[in-house]
Structure 1
Amino acid sequence: MRGWNRWALLGGGLAVLLLAGCNRVLPAETRHPPREGVQVQMREVDPDGRATLQWQGRSIAVKAPPMLTSADIVDVRAALDAAHQPVLELTFRKESAGRLLHATEALVGKQVALTVDDHVLSVATIAGPFGESMQVAGTNMSVAEVHDMARYIVHGGPAPPQQR
């Protein structure tokens, strides 16, 4: 079973967004930004809002505007964390770092939804503020599934199924 359907496994447990913990500067030739037309967003989950998205068989609502968009991202890659678990790493533009740091400081302990093309990839709890990069960890996804996700964001692939 390949493609977007496997990404529904992303939240076997509640994913946690973690501070990447390094100031890595990636040369332009090694960056993997989101492809043109893909819409990556991170928005705060609104428990009192009108649900418009589906995730793991339940409806969720998110606040607008998004705190993070594709325009903020300069690199997307699959990696292994210190415990050798697969993670999705996102690195942000320098111009976005201060705004993201401020936004995530206010959201520590709160849930956010990471979406691609309005399909929920993960609902996670902000573990700590971040501005330069983040890791989506604790997803119960295999290395291959995380690679598939990164590949879809950067290069495209099978269209995601319609949410019901």
Structure 2
Amino acid sequence: MALNSVSRRALLSAVKVQSSQQVACMGSISKIGNREVVGYGYNGDKNYVDRIDFPMPAIRFKENTPDVQALHEKAKGDWNKLTLEEKKALYRASFAQTFSEMKAPTGEWKSVLGVALVIASMSVWIYMGMKTFVYFPMPDTFSPEKQNAQLERMLALKANPVEGPSSMWDYEKGDWKQ
């Protein structure tokens, strides 16, 4: 029985999807090497990440060597028979850092503060350069004498007598209202 063209295309696309998934899985396995997958991991990825908020990575930190495998076999029994060094070696085979090592200050704030201060100083220098070489000088009308003359002219013309400066001027006394 011959397959029609629609079902043949669907079959071929399903085979392509399945083969691409197999390639993706094989690629992730080749990236983790000989390390044991021990859990779901962060977002379901098979990777190792030291995180305080997600303390259980998907794979062990170190690859399985004969020494580590022997320690794992010994740990399946009574843990009281393990020495302190063997317990530490087992921990370091599974994890790169302890919680206290993860929480320890790194000093990164110094570089962040340094970069922020460099950017702030550069912006001040750019502002000073723009003020000196690019911007035009302030107009003459910004001088205090010219502003006083403009206010006197507005009062003489009684400009904006409802809410403006003329409403606050007492024309009989020649002074500002209280």
TM tier relative to shorter chain: under 0.3
Larger Rg: 2
Name the one with the larger strand percent. Answer: 1
RCO comparison, higher one (Cα < 8 Å, 6+): 1
TM-score, with length taken from structure 1? 0.22
TM-score w.r.t. the length of structure 2 is: 0.21
Choose between structure 1 and 2: higher helix proportion: 2
